[in-house]
Structure 1
Amino acid sequence: MLTRIDHIGIACFDLDKTVEFYRATYGFEVFHSEINEEQGVREAMLKINETSDGGASYLQLLEPIREDSAVGKWMAKNGEGVHHIAFGTADVDTDSEAIRDKGVRVLYEQPRRGSMDSRITFLHPKDCHGVLTELVTAADPAAHKGEEDH
């Protein structure tokens, strides 16, 4: 069962400048940052709030590190902006199978590692009214509190 909006993914050309915009404009601070080689992005998670299920909601800022990454290809067509929405779930495996059984294409056969050691999969945007949708099972949030992996 989907429990929350885990994050909104925002593609950007310059991660540092975009982080500074969100810090200066809204007061959001980086909760976690990392380079995800598999996804081909450098990212920063800006924590917005805690949620009633023990998780949190974030803005995920994504700067492609390769032109051939999914985010890089998307930005070549669309420029900067909202890339995807992610819903939190306690069990990405079960929920992705249930959604697949309803005829929605799930992009990964098996969930993969996402930000902060989460487990993720994506749903095809053509099956979700034009919205790339991610399902996320978060790792223990205490394990990454304030951590920055560069």
Structure 2
Amino acid sequence: MNLTHIEHIGIAVKSLDDAIPFWEKQLGMKCYSIEEVKEQKVRTAFFKIGQSKIELLESTDPEGPIGKFIEKKGEGVQHIAFAVEGLQSNLDELAGNGVQLIDKAPRKGAEGLNIAFLHPKSTAGVLMELCEDPNK
């Protein structure tokens, strides 16, 4: 594996409008980006802390992954994402080692990153995302 840092921690919320003020007013962080990722049926809000980010995730469809997560588990930490170099080669290596992948090939995610998820069955119950910046 070629991990470089924690890219972000994804937190499922019912409403960005309700959640963003806590992060800004109580923690003194600034939301620098809100975007919709239609393919994932989600709206995201990002906050930077050091080299890492917090990603708030609001479902745009109750049948989407975040809508289902909130229905089953409520609001809270949904995934941890790691920045990698060579996303596809890392996925191939993990698959070769018997790790169950949700995504066998990278797909587009928020902020223009290429992303892929590892199944929690192979990661001690933690949904993990690998992210690669295609511009680096």
Fold agreement, TM-score > 0.5 = yes
Q: Whole-Å Cα distance in 1 between the matches of residues 135 and 104 of structure 2?
A: 24
Unaligned runs of 5+ in 2: none
Matches within 5 A, 1:1-150: 1-50=2-51, 57-140=52-135
The residue aligned with 1:147 is none
Unaligned runs of 5+ in 1: 51-56, 142-150
3-state SS of 1:67 partner = coil
Q: Whole-Å Cα distance in 1 between the matches of residues 10 and 31 of structure 2?
A: 14
From the superposition, tell whether residues 30 and 117 of structure 1 become closer, same or farther in structure 2 (CA, over 3 Å).
Answer: same
Cα offsets for 1:7-46 (capped at 9, x unmatched): 0000000112211101111111112210011000011111
TM-score (norm. length: structure 2): 0.94
TM-score (norm. length: structure 1): 0.86
3-state SS of 1:106 partner = coil
Displacement of 1:109 in angstroms is 2.4
RMSD, aligned CA: 1.3
Moved over 6 A (4+): none
Aligned residues: 135
